[in-house]
Chains A and B, each alone.
Chain A
């Protein structure tokens, strides 16, 4: 595997379900991110982790719960979601240095909440 991978690629869940999204980066990066992309809206940053520590929570509802067990893996735990949470969820990673901090994205998980 290369780059940033995400599983599952598609997910359909009811409002009472609990599910998790998984992201893995094979780039040796130290920072990982969750973004939400809804139709006709810009990408919205949700969470940032740097060296496994959460450094940003962009006012995300508590029904979204991130977990970063190490610098290569990132999870987004979902529970009691609403239909308006249906979107493409993107994971990204970057290697922060003084000169370079490009974020590389995974293919995304298309989430549908019924």
Chain B
């Protein structure tokens, strides 16, 4: 059974204080690992997809990295508008033609204080 564990559950940062969020996963074969951002009362907003160990992707102050067991979301010099819940999800191999299954973690709630 696929499993995703995110840590920490909640993180408070001061504006400009860089940090990292962790996503540990167990999957029989990884097709893709996804990061989403979710604001209160809204649907998840897609950020990144990572496909293989060693891959990195960046978007503004965010950088996602992937190893064979975990992924990190690095936040450099965060701003208050980066406050949100960040969700990690894994997609297993197989089922490519039948609709994909994502297994989500519980998320990390990030608060950036001005």
- A50-B99 contact, Cβ under 8 Å, with A42-B104, A42-B105: yes
Given A102-B46, A105-B43, A106-B43, check contact A40 B106 (CB 8 Å).
yes
The total of interchain contacts (Cβ-Cβ below 8 angstroms) comes to 71
Which secondary structure dominates chain A's binding surface?
strand
A98 at the interface (CB under 8 A from B): yes
Tell me if A31 counts as interface (CB < 8 A to partner B). yes
A72 at the interface (CB under 8 A from B): no
User: B28 to nearest A CB, angstroms?
Assistant: 17
Q: Is the CB of A33 within 8 A of B99?
A: yes
Given contacts A105-B43, A105-B44, A110-B41, contact A96 B106 (CB under 8 A): no
Instruction: Indicate which residue in B41, B99, B107 contacts A49 across the interface (CB closer than 8 Å).
Output: B99
Q: Which of A19-73 contact B (CB under 8 A)?
A: 31, 33, 40-43, 45, 48-50, 55-56
Q: List the A side residues contacting B32 at CB < 8 Å.
A: 101
A114 to B107, CA, bound (A): 28
Q: Output the residue of A41, A92, A103, A108 with the most chain B CB within 10 A.
A: A103
The answer to whether the Cβ of A90 comes within 8 Å of any Cβ in the partner chain is yes
With the chains together, A7 CA to B42 CA distance in Å? 13
The answer to whether the Cβ of B34 comes within 8 Å of any Cβ in the partner chain is: yes
A45, B106: Cβ atoms closer than 8 Å:
no
Min CB distance A14 to B, Å, is 23
* Nearest chain B CB to A57 CB, angstrom units: 11
B24 at interface (Cβ–Cβ under 8 A)?
no
Contact assessment for B99 and A48 in the assembled complex, using a CB-CB cutoff below 8 Å: yes
The 3 closest A-B pairs by CB, nearest first: A105-B43, A48-B99, A50-B99
